[in-house]
Structure 1
């Protein structure tokens, strides 16, 4: 039986992916940052770990347990992450570091430790959860954009460095998908952005907060969490998975336009989204 470690399974895409793989007879080690979420996963029948990807020891302990139990690790899905909204000029260095600590450095620590195991056993799959915002950038999402662009750069490099081995690196570029992403982003926005004293104060109040507070999925081409879960399932079933998978029509369209339009035209188009 193939096994996989998934980070960020408290809700949304991570939880749905864990459920989908479990239903398809994969052994899923589902992890979450908070104890209450770990308990929820345990009650759903998962073997689970409490992993804060910012904590190296959490990752090490989980991987040691997996190897002790199964003598191997087939795959990891680096899914843990969050979005920090706000205009670039309103992002302090500390806030930007916090975004990168989870989305990029945490992902990289999981990747490093998994790669060590994969090199020893001679096989493995690393699935990196990027975004359409790792391909194009949208205003007021600078911290998240930057973290996803960083994932793209380091993953593209790693993929070249494992070429010819039996280790496969796949990037998933997800577009608008139903999840608790906006709900969590709103908390970060209210906590870390000085809304009242910002140049963008009125825009924040009239547009951005309203978008984050809505419970409706009005984004064009929005898909359910299962759209990503099914891609991860496909990767697990594939002996030699592709290096990149787009999820939602929005990702395909924007990825194509990024390649064919001038930077100026692309900026004008994206500014309307």
Structure 2
């Protein structure tokens, strides 16, 4: 049984690592090679990364993606934490219907709101700005974030809140001083998910930001594909440039991410 488990883990790891290896080997092939295979090139063309960086202007695109991601994550975490705490501790009769209404947002596709969202943002003069992505993404991420934080706060023992109430602590003091220290794994996991979702956003960035200099890296990569659709090594190099920040952030926070996913009780 132990060997079967190890074999299953090796197969799962291979299915994840194989696409990255294929993209890397393709990115190091000569640009004249229109159909690169999976063989490691005898003369790796590391200059493809520099060519892709300068040709697509990934410096400005990555900077724009970072502004959007680091704008979305803290705002979303604060709002999701406050809403999750309120729904978890509220005894109002409207608690259930309000939560159910909020959860409907999980089933709302971007395609259904992008057109009215475009006209609304144009009316208030936010098109072609980073706020045209930050504000809609914060709203789009709220249903999942509230669901996540509500589940965390409901899993905590009620004795924690009752003891704080007996000691005279306010709701704000209870949240900040007692409950938030236990929520670090949950907040870290949610923040990583928010970062990945905001960084990978393509459709809204493509429609709401028309200025190529202000678009995010995935949207810029889409234009890069249109211009160099047959240059597979250059496209592969550009793809690696776009996904590298997400991989680095995940590797840095992977322990907290796994701990947040597996957290089921307070020790």
Alignment TM class, shorter chain as reference: under 0.3
Task: Give the alignment's TM-score, normalised by structure 1.
Answer: 0.24
Relative contact order: is structure 1 or structure 2 higher (C-alpha 8 Å, sep ≥ 6)?
2
Query: Quick check: which one's strand share is greater?
Result: 1
Larger Rg belongs to? 2
Task: Give the alignment's TM-score, normalised by structure 2.
Answer: 0.25
